[in-house]
Structure 1
Amino acid sequence: MEAKEAHKYASWCNANFIKLFPVPTSSPGIYKIAMEKKGIVTQGQQYFRDKPLKNELSVWDKIREIYKEIYEKNNKA
């Protein structure tokens, strides 16, 4: 995903009070993803690396993917 496209999705989510962020675990470089929606924070159960192994998404790539999914779900043509 290009940076301009990712920015569009993240900006829309932030304008609608939806924020995604990595939550560190006790293992260095391993994160879960949390979502804050209108002040309520929920945390996913899946783990992501900041430096992924082959064929894995990094925590940052997954956050961008989730922003896109949220945007598309709420902006159907």
Structure 2
Amino acid sequence: MKNYFALVDKDPDSAFGIRFPDIPGCFSAADGAEDIVPNAVKALQLWAEDMPLPEPSGREAIAALPDVRTALAEGSYLVLVPD
């Protein structure tokens, strides 16, 4: 089993947005915090039906990406999601 970091953000009056920096185009959303990881797992599973999953990057590599670094500074956070 591999684990991928997902970037989670939330604007006021919106659902949680979930995206995978290692897998451009793979994303999800969740209405409640308790649904973030389950919905992210489903997104990975659906992606893997059509496309192979790449090797996951480590936290340091993900956090060093300019867009991720900016999002983290603005209040987004990373969660670890199993495939």
TM range (shorter): 0.3 to 0.5
Question: Normalising by the residue count of structure 2, what TM-score does the alignment of the two structures yield?
Answer: 0.39
Question: Normalising by the residue count of structure 1, what TM-score does the alignment of the two structures yield?
Answer: 0.42
